Amino acid sequence: MPTKKRPRRNNRAKTKTQHEPAPGGTSGGAGERAGKIQVRMFRVGFGDCFLLTLPTAQGPRYILVDCGVHSKGNIKLEGTSLLEKAFDNIAQVTGKKLSIVIATHPHQDHISGFGSFAKQFGEFSISEVWMPWTEDPDDPQAKSLHDKRTTLVSRLQAHFAALGMSEDIGPAAAVANMAGNAPAFQALHSGFGVGAKVRYFKAGDLAKEPAGIQGLNVSILGPPTDQKFLAQMDPPANDHYLRLRGGDTGGAGMVEPFDRQQWSFAKEDPSLAWPELPEAYKKELRSRANSAVDELAFALDQCVNNCSIVALLSYQGLNLLFPGDAQYGNWESWVKSSGSASLLSGVSFYKVAHHGSVNANPKEALEKMPDAKFAAMMSTQSRPWPSIPAPGLLPALDRKTGKQWVRSDAIAISGAPSAPAGTVVPPVFQEGDFWFDYFVG
Ligand SMILES: [Zn+2]
């Protein structure tokens, strides 16, 4: 990690210095940075919200990549959710004009804002809305994946609720992230009701000059559509753990881990002289069943992450990689291909995948990125998952970027988790009230 300490600011001081950028979106760098691509990473808590400003001959054009926060990682400043403040800033900076809205994948921490602010987005001019092909309602395979996922999510929710498990706990938090996204989907699929063109993308697609932005080309690297990928996207094989106990009392809503016919018997039946299992053994069986359900929750969560659009935006000779929360299954589909080295070696900017989790930032991909020639931004915090960001990833980012990377939780917010003491922000990143700006190139 960098060595120079950055000053801590308190929120009251922030309020006094709070400023809003003029439409045109070059707050903190107007003039001197004119002509450069600007990436604004908002600190929203646990979630992603990135606003890109592309300079064009016709004036700035704006691309919004995700707008969401996890309900258990949502943080507030002076009583207002940072995501709401981010939305207000986006409206002001863009003059309510967005060329492209990208919803990388259907997780609350990436799309909740599209639902919460659907009405307000309906006052925007939006040219295009992008989603992964796995959300295409006209694609039979996508629909099948979607239906299975919906069923499993509701069963897992019922299971954890019956256990009394708080949504602050890992597997329950993972399931919560997949639930409650209907309002966002509705807004996205309807093009926010403003006539935006809704497009679904798969690996191999190329969007040439989308939304009429001359010179912009977007290569879509994920999610793939091949059989291997689809097998990974299918609910895991142990979905038999998810039989719901029907019409029962006491455990209603609980997942039944064992087959009822084979393993149930009437206690009062004298012909069944089954020995009573020792308490310790029963406890072990129970914990095994529960851990299998926990694993299923995490596996399903990973399936959804792997549905992420991985977009490589090329503009003005610069390449910006936005992989959403793609985890290894998604990366693997293209990073082993012969063309991946030339793609990755030309990266100028990298949005760290999945908030800095270890298997969303595979070593073989990072190693193909150019040494000390790109910057990276990571939207992260340690709540609700203390394992994120992965400590092992941080030295690798230091080395690969030449210490030109920044984490969103370096912006101190009272009561919110913060980056470790001693974390510094390299001067190429300009700190706003609750965001960092980076000018690419
Ligand atoms: Zn995420």
Residue ranges per structural domain of the chain: 34-234+301-440
Q: Note the pLDDT of residue 404.
A: 98
Task: Please tell me the distance between residue 118's alpha carbon and the centre of ligand 1 in angstroms.
Answer: 20
Q: Note the pLDDT of residue 26.
A: 40
Task: Please tell me the distance between residue 53's alpha carbon and the centre of ligand 1 in angstroms.
Answer: 22
Q: Note the pLDDT of residue 300.
A: 86
Q: Which residues of the chain have pLDDT under 70?
A: 1-32, 231-278, 281-290
Are the CB atoms for 55 and 69 separated by under 8 Å?
Answer: no
Report domain 34-234+301-440's class. Answer: alpha beta
Task: Please tell me the distance between residue 102's alpha carbon and the centre of ligand 1 in angstroms.
Answer: 14
Task: Please tell me the distance between residue 379's alpha carbon and the centre of ligand 1 in angstroms.
Answer: 9
Q: Note the pLDDT of residue 291.
A: 73
Give the separation between CA 40 and CA 413, rounded to whole angstroms.
Answer: 18
The pTM for the full model equals: 0.84
Task: Please tell me the distance between residue 354's alpha carbon and the centre of ligand 1 in angstroms.
Answer: 5
Q: 103 in helix, strand or coil?
A: coil
How many other C-beta atoms are found inside a 10 Å radius of the C-beta of residue 428?
15
Task: Please tell me the distance between residue 278's alpha carbon and the centre of ligand 1 in angstroms.
Answer: 43
Half-sphere exposure of 283 (CA within 13 A, CB side): 3
Task: Please tell me the distance between residue 374's alpha carbon and the centre of ligand 1 in angstroms.
Answer: 22
Task: Please tell me the distance between residue 130's alpha carbon and the centre of ligand 1 in angstroms.
Answer: 17
Phi and psi at 369, nearest 5°, equal -75, 155
Task: Please tell me the distance between residue 48's alpha carbon and the centre of ligand 1 in angstroms.
Answer: 6
Task: Please tell me the distance between residue 23's alpha carbon and the centre of ligand 1 in angstroms.
Answer: 28
- The mean predicted confidence, pLDDT, of the chain is 85
Tokens coding 11: 């929120």
Task: Please tell me the distance between residue 355's alpha carbon and the centre of ligand 1 in angstroms.
Answer: 6
Task: Please tell me the distance between residue 272's alpha carbon and the centre of ligand 1 in angstroms.
Answer: 51
Q: At what angle do helices 279-305 and 140-163 cross, to 10 degrees?
A: 140
Give the separation between CA 373 and CA 363, rounded to whole angstroms.
Answer: 17
Task: Please tell me the distance between residue 2's alpha carbon and the centre of ligand 1 in angstroms.
Answer: 25
Task: Please tell me the distance between residue 276's alpha carbon and the centre of ligand 1 in angstroms.
Answer: 46
Task: Please tell me the distance between residue 230's alpha carbon and the centre of ligand 1 in angstroms.
Answer: 21
Task: Please tell me the distance between residue 109's alpha carbon and the centre of ligand 1 in angstroms.
Answer: 5
Task: Please tell me the distance between residue 378's alpha carbon and the centre of ligand 1 in angstroms.
Answer: 11
Per DSSP, helices labelled H in 225-278 are 227-233, 260-263
Task: Please tell me the distance between residue 35's alpha carbon and the centre of ligand 1 in angstroms.
Answer: 30
Q: Note the pLDDT of residue 14.
A: 34
Task: Please tell me the distance between residue 92's alpha carbon and the centre of ligand 1 in angstroms.
Answer: 25
